Amino acid sequence: MSLPKINPTKTAAWQALSRQFEVQKDLALQDLFLQEPSRMEQFSAQTEGFYLDYSKNLITAETKEILVRLAQEVRLKDAIDAQFSGAIINETEQRAVGHTALRNFGALPEEVAVALERIKSFTGQVISGQWKGYSGKPITHVVNVGIGGSDLGPDMVCEALGYYQNHLKLRFVSNVDGDHVMHQLKDLPRDQTLFVIVSKTFTTQETLTNAQTIRQWFLEEAPESGIAQHFAAVSTNLEAVAAFGIDSDQVFPMWDWVGGRFSLWSAVGLSIALSVGYDHFESLLKGAQDMDQHFAKTPFEDNLPVLMALISVWYNNFYHAESECVVPYSQYLNKFVAYLQQGIMESNGKYVDRNGEEVDYQTGTIVWGSTGTNAQHAFFQLIHQGTKLIPTDFIAFKECLYGQQDHQNKLLANCIAQTQALMSGTKGQAIERPYRVFAGNKPTNTLLIDKLTPERLGGLIALYEHKLFVQGVIWNIFSYDQWGVELGKKLAVNVLNTIESSDDSSKLKFDKAQEFDASTAELLRRIKQ
């Protein structure tokens, strides 16, 4: 069962949306609320712990009905069923897309269940102090070494769940920037630090360079036999891991049917389980599973990921809004937007459709943002009074974690007030000076979540995973490959060989055989001077 291959612009719904846009493009949100007393009931949806208010969007009941028809015409339900059934929907790499299977506790694949038990056992030993370093002392620090999905997901979740963190101190090394690596290492106790190397192939240039540098640093004081006590790996390349010196008992599996940017639910999340304990890690997975069930079983009209995806398509393809902003009102979610950037832009930044043809419509959205209230004092000016339409997602939690309700009330007040200000502007007010006028009519979604728990964080991440999948289905693109990142990697090998060669830099010039253009050749010449 493969994904449908339907050009959305050829559907009746797409044509109807084009007509609908012409009819309503000058609508004012304030007027819609005046005209529709039941607008909130019409344009809100919920599932356990999540309430979505999408009433402050430039849509009418008719717009919503046509958007849902679009989802039906591109056979979204068939696509959802294909993904959850384990079909080979990543067709360009001939792989299934199985990250939802990692958290399907009703029917866990045996290999996943075994991996989870191993994670539970290992992390339990480290956290309890049973696991000792080469000096006989327990582990106090953990360093995750990876890049892309092997870094962004675990890093984001560990920070987001900081309230639940145990005594272990987590650090993350991803960039091949040696200055950063050494900065992260300089005050670590070698005999009490565990390093988790995350690389499916154990050949990723950045990760392996960092891992070898860390290994050398470790062995400056530690015995080589200590590597087995201080290094773990998440990989499929057992031979390379063994050559590094990591004991096979500390190697955790990765699978081809799990893409990197969706892998935090697997053993890639080992650092998460170390940071907050296995029980909280499992709660994270179960929260994601709850959202999976909502996504798979709820009619499109009330389906949170589907609704958010359809609204995004509406703005991207008909209002030509190229970007969307995400603003979580929790400092714990400081890295959430960076995580979404990889998930959404690497998945849907495609110009070739599932038929192998170039598209003549926009795909992908540029995702950016930061935490509120910091964002209000940084870039909200652009959203309020700029010339670009920037739909914005507001994410807020009803309850705080430390009991500082006064702070939480102010946080929530700012969040809700911003959505009102973006919608209403200064309409109806007598403003003498034009630069003080706020046009309003700026669309927003508000996700109100009961509390930042591991369960709800899992659900939130899964919600955006499913949103990007729906967008990809509608745009008729393959969301689960990422061929666009490969070319730069290949060229970097040639560039690096040139930088490290002993050749006279004065002789370096445009070389067709090495695929160096004149600009690249000159930059290399200057580096080698």
What amino acid positions are annotated as catalytic residues? 346, 377, 489
The CB-side HSE value for 480 (13 A sphere, CA atoms) comes to 26
Per the CB < 8 A criterion, the answer to whether 516 and 504 are in contact is no
- Please work out, in degrees rounded to the nearest 5, the angle formed at the alpha carbon of residue 441 by the alpha carbons of 439 and 447: 130
How many CB atoms lie under 10 A from the CB of residue 493? Answer: 10
DSSP letter for 95, please. Answer: B
Asked if residue 98 lies in contact with residue 258, where contact means CB atoms within 8 angstroms, the answer is: yes
Give residue 433's identity as a one-letter amino acid code: R
Q: What is the per-residue DSSP string for 130-188?
A: -SB-TTSPBP-EEEEE--THHHHHHHHHHHHTGGG--SPEEEEE-S--HHHHHHHHTT-
How far is the C-alpha of 486 from the C-alpha of 470, rounded, in Å? 25
Between CA 397 and CA 412 the distance in angstroms is 8
Helix residue spans in 277-345 (DSSP H): 278-297, 304-317, 336-341
Which one, of 434, 436, 419, lies nearest residue 375 by Cα? 419
Reduced DSSP (H G I as helix, E B as strand, rest coil) percent helix, strand, coil of the chain, to 5: 55, 10, 35
Pairing of strands 50-53, 444-449: antiparallel
